[in-house]
Amino acid sequence: MDAVTSPSASPSASSSSAPSLEVSGVAYAYPDGHQALFGVDLTVGRGERVALLGPNGAGKTTLVLHLNGILGGGVGSVRVAGLPVEKRNLAEIRRRVGIVFQDPDDQLFMPTVREDVAFGPAAAGLRGAELEERVREALELVGMAGFADRPPHHLSFGQRRRVAVATVLAMRPEILVLDEPSSNLDPASRRELADILRSLDVTVLMVTHDLPYALELCPRSVILSEGVIAADGRTRDLLCDDALMREHRLELPFGFDPRSVAAA
């Protein structure tokens, strides 16, 4: 498969040596007064695959929405490949941070797969052969090149999820943010998606409750709990820490032992 590349906006706006993501002291309260984040610090290097774990209500969605500027105005700062997430940079930030929603039908709305994947690059100004090449590249990366002229609603759920990933990859993002990517997938589709994600030359932040999937795909995990980073380390080490898991309401599936998986 071809690698996903991510050109910088400009030498002054971004540094090739900068981490993909730098979150510094981000705190945020919603207008109703609910405080969701209490000073989050997180750095993700280029090419890392990191799982963002935590119970419901921990602040995971709030944090993710800060990465592309949907939420802001609180305390702290976010940089994507060195570029500050600020109003003047939002168009470029939203190209660099590609979010794949939990439900692929939230992202697929055009008559054909080809048109869905072309939508973002076309809106950014690509036309003609360059646009066609971008669509071809993205569909090949997710193994869906033969489905370009199919209506998305005629595809299986797993195929639609792969097309949703392609719509984001077509923008050549710096970071691919996946919201519960394994949800509602059968075992074969789950494995196929894992193979795709491992093949991509792109930084991945995976928000998930699927702890075995986190262990399979992400060497590093971060636990967000009650609006703060409670732990940051090797995924296997975190999942094997029974006290840490209980404290932050994280539970492994019945019979799943991360120690035996790592040993295998």
Q: What is the pLDDT of residues 161-179, one digit of tens each?
A: 999 999 999 999 999 999 9
| Domain contains 147 | yes
Domain total of the chain? 1
Q: Quick one: DSSP state of residue 107?
A: T
pLDDT of 3: 40
DSSP line for 129-171: HHHHHHHHHHHHHTT-GGGTTS-GGGS-HHHHHHHHHHHHHTT
What is the extent of the structural domain holding 132? 45-58+95-263
Orientation angle between helical segments 157-169 and 187-199, nearest 10 degrees: 20
**Torsion, CA 139, CA 145, CA 148, CA 154, rounded to 10:** -100
Q: Is residue 149 part of a domain?
A: yes
CATH code: domain of residue 147: 3.40.50.300
Give the C-alpha separation, 214 to 216, whole Å: 5
Question: Which carries the bigger pLDDT value, residue 9 or residue 241?
Answer: 241
Residue 21 β-bridge partners: 44, 80
Residue 39 lies in a domain: no
Let me know if residue 163 belongs to a domain. Answer: yes
User: What does the alpha-carbon distance between residue 185 and residue 252 come to, in Å, rounded to a whole number?
Assistant: 18
Q: Is residue 244 part of a domain?
A: yes
Structural domain contains residue 85: no
Distance from the Cα of residue 200 to its chain's centroid: 12
144 in a structural domain: yes
In a domain, 26, yes or no: no
Residue located via tokens 């799943």: 256
Distance CA 240, CA 98 (A): 31
% of the chain at pLDDT higher than 70? 93
Confidence of residue 74 (pLDDT cuts 50, 70, 90): confident
Asked whether residue 85 carries a pLDDT value surpassing 50, the answer given is yes
pTM of the model: 0.90
Predicted confidence at residue 262, as pLDDT, reads: 58
